[in-house]
Structure 1
């Protein structure tokens, strides 16, 4: 399934980088070559962020993607790449956008002829890389695994992936070899080193809930926090019949180290054995929690036995049990924070108490008895002025 050959550029793809550029089937006319402005080094610098992002996302080799883009677009100097961000010569339209250009084709007798063809016009480099990656991952219509020889999980080296494109992506018998020469000449295999994100994880009780937000479908479900594992697998919302307002149960929170973004591990059933997925926090409508700081004394209601948690239950931190109120030895404790959690109209109040010098725990309001200081009131009609530090206090 090769896509077309741009005007008068049908030159041997084996004429490789010794001249600092490649003569390829998209190099275009002599006039076009004279207007070339990108050097191989500049092209690699320009393309690296999107090539690495897309190739790694689709579990392909960035080195092979970069080499293909260079080969197919003459280091980004072809008319198709400069006017349409089309670095792979893919025909058709992209979201209704296209350009028409003259191409060189072979007839059934092997004779070269020229004709006009419609090519996809992309809004960005990344869109072009993504479209090509989806082709390699999903295959043409007749076979989803047609390009499976390029997938990282099916190959040991980038050479294997490059050679798998010969006879499939391109009919030229030297296509894979040309890509390999490019990769080796420009050390493109350095792009294949994958650095995964790190995250810190916080386990939870597993019974806390949220709902899918109005814009949940903008995000995906994953088997790991996105970008932290080589075995990352995406799941489409259709698989779980996702819908706005759908209830989910959460049992773990993950915070990515570099971006400080929060992810939740969710399931679509209260059963803790149900399949779990990781999702970005913005896909969820989480309960709202209001915190009020200030010290006061609370008396433990020892007539009942309530769980102690490391966070207010159902807050966006998620929480887990760290003890029971029956284990508390004293009758009175100091609380320094009160949390009011509103989960779809169901409101609960939690008190944070200091158990000892190191440990603090949250207990539900029903597990304590609040004690208040006695105040003696005296009527007065005196006038007074607000002091200069009045704003430190509240009414």
Structure 2
């Protein structure tokens, strides 16, 4: 059972192709005008189906509202599809345009077949079946939503984050809707007798205090390798201790070995409910294909790329004809990164950078710059073909001897590099006690060919620090 990669379908547009039923033959319904009308119209099928499958009606109602835009999406009004489920239902489907992300995190649009249901209840039942039966590769992937495992609707809603939808705020969005419209009071108060058999288990679950986790999704194919310590840990279907029903998998099941390449698509920061200690977890898979089975692992399981950050200043020019993206973090850093736009939109322009990052991955170093675009900061890779920092060109040569400070020396400054030639440019004041005629030792020379200016690297008597200074500061 395939699902869309984006979880809000209110903006879906009807496509040209239709399978199964004819669009004019009436499986759809008129768009619901208000949230209250939506809740009222679906109250009966939601309670009936959710209780039958031992799920939380409030969560099902919130999902239906969120996924269908309160029943206004074209997919819902046309096909009674409240959850964006792809495929066909008893041979019936509708073809619609939907947005997807490619392996580089770029947004694109494509046509896809979505199930067409004869009624809202059929849509609810199909979705409940999915939550109860899971997927072919993991039948228990949604077990955190089952009432016997989830002590409250909040636990059930949060269990959908990172499983049902990749959006890190998916569970929080459902909870917000439930609270705003008091759906738990309206729908969760009564259950069928079939769910009463689990009261004891639910009571036990109420006593468990689970850790919380903040999830961050990632774009494209980001990678790491299994560390030398990986065998000390386990793989899990969810972040460990964040919900009931978390299961672990032995490394032998996947043929793991030290240094094995794995693909990352999500990062989670877990907070222990008692100690408040935070730990970092990653969701991995062993195949580049995004549909491959996924596991959660503790950060020490992986050898991640290292990043060295440096503050500074530079002008970075985005070259014409570039491809790729700019990101919220350095791509493939331990933070993981999300694409925030295409570099082609920034081509031919220059931007100020305030931070530099040198990433080392598998022995290869790459440089990244953080630039400001329309008031927001993003990371871009610095390459000859895509983007390059604009520094002054200098021809260096050895030098020796001594010179004296000129009468105009105080008009100039001391630097750790020739001015405007390095990102981590630093400016220094003249040491105390120096004056016109003070002797300095010269040990290097630089000429800015474009400006025809000469610079010297000098050292003061009794001081081991080297400084660069404009030759006009010297006699």
Give me the TM-score of the superposition, normalised by structure 2.
0.40
Give me the TM-score of the superposition, normalised by structure 1.
0.48
